[in-house]
Chains A and B, each alone.
Chain A
């Protein structure tokens, strides 16, 4: 399988803390994207990082990409209860997106 892997599978933190999720993939990619999925809903795009970029910011989100290690990380700073969701990385290669199994984040008030 070419599917990527997120780590950890589940993460529980207190409101205000930072949350870090990692993603590994298996082949060279064109870009990598992170998506959020609230329970019972569709996926929502968070951020895209291209293969020639190393870091990208969007609000409280910071994504890094290490192509030599075939890995990416998503950092959510100052987490809120509303950040509770599943987070997926999607690696893009060829003409396909391959999603990992996701990290389930719980932010406790």
Chain B
């Protein structure tokens, strides 16, 4: 069965510092991986995806993610955090059969001035 794990419930970062939000996955075959962001009382916004190709994927709002097949990870990164980046972040993997997305439990990112 496919699954995704976000090992940190919360990540705290100072504004201007780099940020990393971790995600590991378990799938059979090649994974299709996604990152979403959710602001309070809002729907999820799509940030980026890895389907194939370069291991470093660039997305919206300056975010990027690095696909690492040997470590089965897909960590979300940003070189310089903004206070406005504070939100809930979800990692997801697409099921091979049926195409549904399996979401992690989310990581709360808090960026302090």
Q: Are A and B subunits of one complex?
A: no
B positions within 8 Å CB-CB of A: none
